[in-house]
Amino acid sequence: MSERSVTVTGQGSTSVVPDTAVVRVAAVARAAGVAAAFASSSEAAAQIGAIARRHTEEKRIATTGINV
């Protein structure tokens, strides 16, 4: 009985266009009081969100935190 075998050698590569990007943006506001600074940063966040919504789905946009 003779042994049977299959030998495969090769080389390959591929490349694709990226379909995902992660962008992190921060807004900093300084004011005389916390309420004024918060209002200013809220406005900045709204503007950042409006820009983001032009380029991606709402479900992919998130706010991760706020520091006062």
pTM for the whole structure: 0.63
Q: Are 27 and 44 in contact (CB under 8 A)?
A: yes
Q: What is the number of structural domains in the chain?
A: 1
DSSP state of 25: -
* Per-residue model confidence as pLDDT tens digits over 3-58: 887 788 889 999 999 888 888 888 888 999 999 999 999 999 999 999 999 999 99
Q: How far is CA 57 from the centre of its chain?
A: 12
Domain that holds residue 54: 21-63
Residue 29 lies inside a defined structural domain of this protein:
yes
**Residue 58 maps to a domain:** yes
Q: Look at residue 37 and tell me if it is in a domain.
A: yes
| Residue 7: per-residue pLDDT | 81
Residue 4 domain-assigned (yes or no): no
**Single-letter code of the amino acid located at 17:** V
Assigned domain for 2 exists: no
**pLDDT for the residue 39:** 93
Residue 32 gets which letter from DSSP? S
Task: Give 66's pLDDT tier (boundaries 50, 70, 90).
Answer: confident
- Is the pLDDT score of 1 beyond 70? no
